[in-house]
Amino acid sequence: MQKLERIHLLSRTDMLKPLRLFVRNVAVKQNCCKDNVECLVMAVNEACMNVIQHAYKYRDDEEIIVEFWEDNKELIIKVIDNAQSADTGDIKSRDLDDVRPGGLGVHIIQQVMDCVEYKSGDGSADGKGNLLEMRKQITSEKKSENENNAVVNNAEKE
């Protein structure tokens, strides 16, 4: 497993836009296809947004760390905070048939990533720290184009 990038950001809502640009650049550098790029941007944005809203409760001077790893054509993103450890059992997608504002972030992350795992606590006595690990198989731009062409070709044959 190879570490690609690590970024530290303050828990401010105005940091989300530059963060999305950073994620986009990392994904493009890994030759991710357009769909992959959009999924990764969405997932990291929602994850950091959840940290700002729920973990840090809008305290804007706290730290969020986002790490990017690559392992055998899989991109692994870790979002780390130093807030009070959450009960990971409480972090789950809600019933979408209940149409109401909020609570969609976890669902969106689960939809766009292949594997999502929450870990709480860093083992320290003060019970602080949360880690969200998200994985996504990388589909390269070239491969994606070829697949699209194959779909078009097959459709034309039919």
Partner 1 sequence: MNYPVSQYQSFNIIQLSGEIDLNESPNVRKQILSYINNNNDTLIDLSAVEYIDSSGVASLVEGLQVARSKEIKFALLGVSDAAMQVLKLARLDTVFSIYKSLDDIG
Residue (of 41, 43, 61, 42) closest to 52 by Cα position: 61
Asked whether position 129 contacts partner 1 by CB under 8 A, the answer is no
- Residues 38 to 67 in contact with partner 1, rule: CB under 8 A: 38, 41-42, 45-46, 49, 52-53
d(CA 79, CA 153) in angstroms, rounded, equals 41
Asked whether position 89 contacts partner 1 by CB under 8 A, the answer is no
- We find the least distance from the C-beta atom of residue 127 to partner 1, in angstroms, to be 26
Asked whether position 25 contacts partner 1 by CB under 8 A, the answer is no
Residue 75 DSSP SS3: strand
C-beta of residue 47 within 8 angstroms of C-beta of residue 102: no
- We find the least distance from the C-beta atom of residue 108 to partner 1, in angstroms, to be 5
- We find the least distance from the C-beta atom of residue 80 to partner 1, in angstroms, to be 19
d(CA 47, CA 60) in angstroms, rounded, equals 16
User: Of 89, 101, 124, 158, which one interacts with partner 1 (CB under 8 A)?
Assistant: 101
- We find the least distance from the C-beta atom of residue 99 to partner 1, in angstroms, to be 6
C-beta of residue 74 within 8 angstroms of C-beta of residue 136: yes
Asked whether position 17 contacts partner 1 by CB under 8 A, the answer is yes
With a CB cutoff of 8 Å and minimum separation 6, the contacts of 76 are 1, 68, 69, 70, 133, 134, 135
Q: What share of the chain is helix, strand, coil (3-state, %, to 5)?
A: 40, 30, 30
Stretch near partner 1 under the rule CB under 8 A, chosen from 74-82, 83-91, 101-109, 116-124: 101-109
Which residues of this chain interact with partner 1, rule CB under 8 A? Answer: 13-14, 16-17, 20, 38, 41-42, 45-46, 49, 52-53, 96, 99-102, 104-105, 107-108, 111-112
